[in-house]
Structure 1
Amino acid sequence: MKKTITLAPDYSKSSFFNDGSFLFCNSLTKQLDFIEIGTFQMKYLNKQSSVSILISDQVIKIVEEKFEKYIFIENVCFKKILHPKTQQLGIRLSKNGQYAEFFGEIVEIWKLIKRYVIQEDFLLKYKLGSKIGEGYSSSVFKAFKILNGQKFAVKIVDKYMLSRDNNLEKQQMLNELSILRQINHINLLKLEEIFESEENIYIVTELLEGGYLKNSIFRFRFSEEETIILMQQLFRTLNYLHQMNIFHLNIKFDNIFLRDEQDLTSVCIINFGKAEIQKFNSLSSKNLNHYDPNSLISFYRKKDIYAISLIILSIFVKKLYKESQMVDELLMKNYDCFSFVEQMNLLPPLQNFFEILFTEKGRNLIDILTCQEILKLEVFNLNFQRRSSKATQILHIKTFDQKRQSRFIPRPSQKDNLQLSQLQKSLKLPNINDSGDNKLPQNQSYSPQTEKYLSHKLLNECKINNQTPRQSILRKLLSPNV
């Protein structure tokens, strides 16, 4: 792979992200709350002046004695520079061939704008590792920050492939970047920074080392408690997006990862390329002319809710559905494919949740149901206490799988509880430390402790009597006189 070439100050004119607008704007369309950063020396058009800088969201406000100017920093090209005379560290912001330089304490500015601007020195900051994914016009690699070795994921997009056919993929990438810059939630992918070279775009995000959610679901045994907590995490995340008027519209197993493969609370939703955003009471959808805005929002909301619910159903029934096909069926209120839901043997609140989403019971609710209302359902207010076996009502058996390192301990099923209860009633356990004079009646079952004792004694007998067949020694040990 070619190294990034140092680019000219006006590289922004040929940047992939150049939208043709100017660097500065003289007014805003709405009121914003700005944070004052400090005083800086601004160099623009070979003139240097002292200015105050304030920042709000994606806007930098520049205040001089006689004027105020604004810079919308989304997709503005960024570069760190040194003052030619004082060698003071500064930054250069450029767009569509225009650029301005600022010198002063730039650390605070950098913290606030790093996710919005486009840098050009990726290979000076990161070292590429192994490939972990690939698409039509992009590849995903593990990357290491050269400064401290911190691990990240980097999506390397081929600019030529991205724009060769049509603008769909380009628009989806710009749409995803716009959303990643706005969101800040523990269960959503975190954007680190963006770079551009002559050939590629580098999108640096956090590294989700837990892999796909579906891999963990079928690899480990999770309890109902863990799965309900996963449900809660997913609906809380979806509620966060919907309150920001962001609709994902492409929720499926392939777009849900884990940070920790054995911790369902570390779930993380990715891939916002097909998402829709409502801004300033108008939708970004191209189909707006054909739909009432409120109806379209309701449609988007239902689609996301059904997609999440279908994933949760898949976890319980251990079956992968064709997500897009099933969601379409549900949106048309065709519940025939999910008639089995009414026969699922689950906790009543959990059973009620699935019946509301996948049966006629929720036909009149789904049009007005929101994530906020779903989170108020009884299933999310359960006190997760270990259940007793229905057979005894008093026997509490805790299980522990040494291979599991999840923060939750799986609960035994009702069948396991019943079997263990019957087994414990039938056992008459001997004291393993008793002498050999104690006799165990032959008609009694052996406990696991007894088997361990016999196995240990068999091993010792075989060592002493090398010539005696192992089967004879075992027969002797299992006789009533042992």
Structure 2
Amino acid sequence: MRKTVTLQFDYSKSSFFNDGKQLFCNSPQHQMEFIQFGTFLMKYNNRQNSACILLQENIIKIAEEKGDRFINLDNVCVKKTLHPKTQQLGLRLSRNGQFIELFGEIIELWKSIKKFVIQTDFSLKYKLGQKLGEGYSSSVYKAYKIINGQKVAVKIIDKSLVSRNNNSEKQYLTNELAVLRQINHSNLLKLHETFECEENIYIVTDLLEGGHLKNSIFRFRYSEQETIILMQTLFKSLNYLHERNIFHNDIKFDNILLKDQQDLTSACIINYGKSEVIQKNFHNSNNLNFYEQNPSIQFIRKKDILALCIVIYSIFSKKLCQEKLVLGELLMKNYESMADIELMDSNPSLQQFFEILLTQKGQPQMECLKCSDILNLEIFNFTITRRSSKMQGIPHYMNNNFRRSSRFTPRNSQKDQQIISNLQKSLKLPIINDSLDSKILQNHSYSPQTENYISHRLLYEEKPSSLKPRYSFLKKCLSPNI
């Protein structure tokens, strides 16, 4: 287990993210709508005065009598502090040795800025658990938030290895954080917080417990309709990125994970280290078609779309492609690797989808095609029945006439069901008191699998002549220790 060493109080000069810039920045070139968070006591250069604090995404505005100041919060080092006289809780924001302290109602402000800033107290907030994977300079762990037990994923990056490998690894890390801070979508990885210690960087994100999409696709049998749901989900995610001029640049099976293993709508795109973010020039904002007609933007958009189509093609063809090789051929307009699309046994709308995106027939359309255009294709214009997830609870209003949950569960005959019904009437269990004083623990949860299991054992493995062993066996089956 890696050791966490707390950094000194003002660590902004020695921070891995120190870019040599000053704490205060120039005012934004374009007009921004700021949200006011109230009046705070500000300490700066040994002076104290009141200031109104406003925020818009990663830009904080400090409105004083003398004028306005601005701070870009990206990679600003932050620590909580106490006012020496009033003992009021505050925040210390520092960059390259320059700092200010803000005292007041900081809770709501802190919630809005914590994903942009760098903290140091990782070991006080999280406890590491199982190791989930590793790369050249990083490892991913399951972790638990100490205050409430929330499960998260933590990517731990070795600072020495990142610095040793020229600037490529550092650039990937910077890109990853820059993109994660801009996005907020249910099917894209969500950033919680970032920490730094003397040896490591900790990036805390959502935990995607469903694992890699590739594992589920080839392990479970999904209908064509369910797979089309997956297509729609992924194209909506990609469309969200492209609308913000963020281009992933590395879409492949390994970079798509599931929150829930049996719910394809929970697919999430991860790993934004190789992403490209095209910054808009607001001086030329009158030309609204500039970004649509720019050849370089069209190319990287097309690359993302083709890479996602290769993943989808692999799912329907039930074979894994050499993703980089096939993508390179398609970008060079060599469609021979996709020659078997016409032989695929699929419905006409799905066939049309593949022909437009992956064959020479759709080449004229493909040059300027966007994700929003793809989502309007016929393949996505019909009602789809979603598969219920195991992670979703069973509604309380459902009756108990359940189907078998697996082929190993015994099927009850009509006679057996009558015996069970009579037995349930004879066994008068105590009434559950649902008051606040006595809540049932989660370990005592009830499910159709439990009912089938207990019923089968009561019918075939326990003596029907005596109710006493039935009571003890029923109590044993409902025990939380099982």
| Coarse TM-score class (shorter-chain normalised) | 0.7 to 0.9
- The aligned residue for residue 72 of structure 2 is 72
Distance (Å, rounded) in 2 between the aligned partners of 1:125 and 1:167:
30
Are 2:147 and 1:140 aligned? no
Q: Which amino acid aligns with 2:265?
A: T
User: Which secondary structure state, in structure 2, belongs to the residue aligned with residue 327 of structure 1?
Assistant: helix
Paired residue for 1:199? 199
Q: Residue 165 and residue 203 in structure 1: after superposition, are their counterparts in 2 closer, same or farther (change >3 A)?
A: same
Q: Aligned partners of 1:45 and 1:180: how far apart in 2? A: 33
Deviation at 1:293, TM superposition (A): 7.9
Match of 2:48 in 1: 48
Counterpart in the other structure of 2:111: 111
Q: Choose which of 392, 402, 412 in structure 1 pairs with 2:405.
A: 402
Q: TM-score, normalised by structure 1?
A: 0.77
Structure 2 counterparts to residues 257-272 of structure 1, below 5 A: 257-272=257-272
Equivalent residue, structure 2, for 1:471? none
* 1:75 shift after superposition: 0.3
What stretches of structure 1 of length at least 5 have no aligned partner? 283-291, 387-399, 405-430, 434-459, 461-482
**Equivalent AA in structure 2 for residue 133 of structure 1:** G
Question: Cα 1:150–1:383, aligned 2, differ >3 Å: closer, same or farther?
Answer: closer
Alignment of 1:437-452 (within 5 A): none
2:8 matched to which residue of 1? 7
1:368-387 alignment, distance < 5 Å: 368-384=368-384
- How many Å separate the matches in 1 of 2:274 and 2:83? 43
One-letter amino acid of the counterpart of residue 311, structure 1: V
Alpha-carbon offset, residue 35 of structure 1? 0.6
For the Cα contact (< 8 Å) 2:25–2:71, is it kept in 1?
yes
- For each residue in 1:175-203, what CA deviation from the matched residue of structure 2 results, as whole angstroms up to 9, or x when unmatched? 11000000011110000000000111000
User: Greater CA deviation, 183-192 or 358-367?
Assistant: 358-367
Note the C-alpha offset of 1:383.
3.2
2:132 touches 2:141 (CA, 8 Å); kept in 1?
yes
Structure 1 position 281, deviation (Å): 3.8
The answer to whether the aligner puts 1:177 opposite 2:177 as a matched pair is yes
| Structure 1 residue 26, shift from structure 2 partner | 4.8
Secondary structure of residue in 2 paired with 1:70: strand
Moved over 6 A (4+): none
CA contact (8 A) 2:7 2:198 kept: no
Q: Secondary structure at the match of 1:372?
A: helix
Q: Who is 1:366 aligned against?
A: 366
Deviations 1:310-355 (A, max 9, x none): 1111111111111111011111111111111101111110111111
Question: Residue 70 of structure 2 aligns to a residue in which SS?
Answer: strand
SS at match of 1:364: helix
Counterpart position of 1:296: 296
Show CA shifts across 1:163-220 (max 9, x none).
0120001011101100000001111000000000011100000000000000000110
SS at match of 2:181: helix
Aligned-partner residue type, residue 402 of structure 1: S
Alignment of 1:146-157 (within 5 A): 146-157=146-157
In the alignment, the residues of structure 2 paired with residue 161 and residue 293 of structure 1 have an alpha-carbon distance, to the nearest angstrom, of 40
TM-score (normalised: structure 2):
0.77
The residue identity in structure 1 corresponding to 2:100 is A
- Cα gap change, 1:255 to 1:39, in 2 (>3 Å): same
Aligned to 1:221: 221
Q: Shift of residue 4 of structure 1?
A: 2.7
Residue 383 of structure 1 aligns to a residue in which SS?
coil
The answer on whether the counterparts of 1:4 and 1:122 sit within 8 Å (CA) in structure 2 is no
Q: CA deviation at 1:432?
A: 10
Stretch of structure 1 that moved more, 21-30 or 209-218:
21-30
Q: Using the TM superposition, give the Cα deviation of residue 63 of structure 1 relative to its aligned residue in structure 2, in angstroms.
A: 1.0
CA distance in 2, matches of 1:269, 1:14: 33
| AA at the equivalent of 1:102 | L
3-state SS of 2:254 partner: helix
Q: Specify the SS of the correspondent of 2:13.
A: helix
- Alpha-carbon RMSD across the aligned residues, in angstroms, is 2.1
CA 1:119 to 1:432, structure 2 compared with 1: closer, same or farther past 3 Å?
closer
Q: Give distance in 2, aligned partners of 1:385 and 1:182.
A: 32
Partners of 1:163 and 1:385 lie apart in 2 by: 50
**1:385 Cα deviation after fit:** 7.7
Determine the structure 1 residue equivalent to 2:29: 29
Offset of 1:91 from its aligned partner? 0.5
Distance of 2:22 and 2:323 partners within structure 1: 43
The amino acid that maps onto 1:310 is: I
CA distance in 2, matches of 1:5, 1:274: 30
CA distance in 2, matches of 1:295, 1:133: 38
- Is 1:334 aligned to residue 334 of structure 2? yes
Task: Give yes or no for contact 2:187–2:268 (8 Å, CA) kept in 1.
Answer: yes
Measured in 1, the distance between the counterparts of 2:166 and 2:209 equals 33
Report the Cα distance in structure 1 between the residues aligned to 2:178 and 2:352, rounded to whole angstroms. Answer: 38
C-alpha distance in 2, partners of 1:225/1:103?
55
Q: 1:120–1:196: 8 Å Cα contact kept in structure 2?
A: yes
CA distance in 1, matches of 2:122, 2:18: 19
Corresponding residue for residue 232 of structure 2 = 232
CA contact (8 A) 1:248 1:304 kept: yes
CA contact (8 A) 2:80 2:92 kept: yes
State the partner residue of 1:356: 356
CA shift, 1:13, in A, is 0.8
> 2: distance between equivalents of 1:271 and 1:357?
24
Other structure's SS at 2:357 match = helix
* Percent identical: 61
Counterpart contact for 1:26–1:68, Cα < 8 Å: no
Gaps of 5+ in 2: 283-291, 387-402, 408-412, 416-459, 461-482
The aligned residue for residue 468 of structure 1 is none
Distance 2:81 2:385 in 1: 60
Q: Residues 293-319 of structure 1: CA distance to partner in whole angstroms, max 9, x if unpaired?
A: 811111111111111111111111111
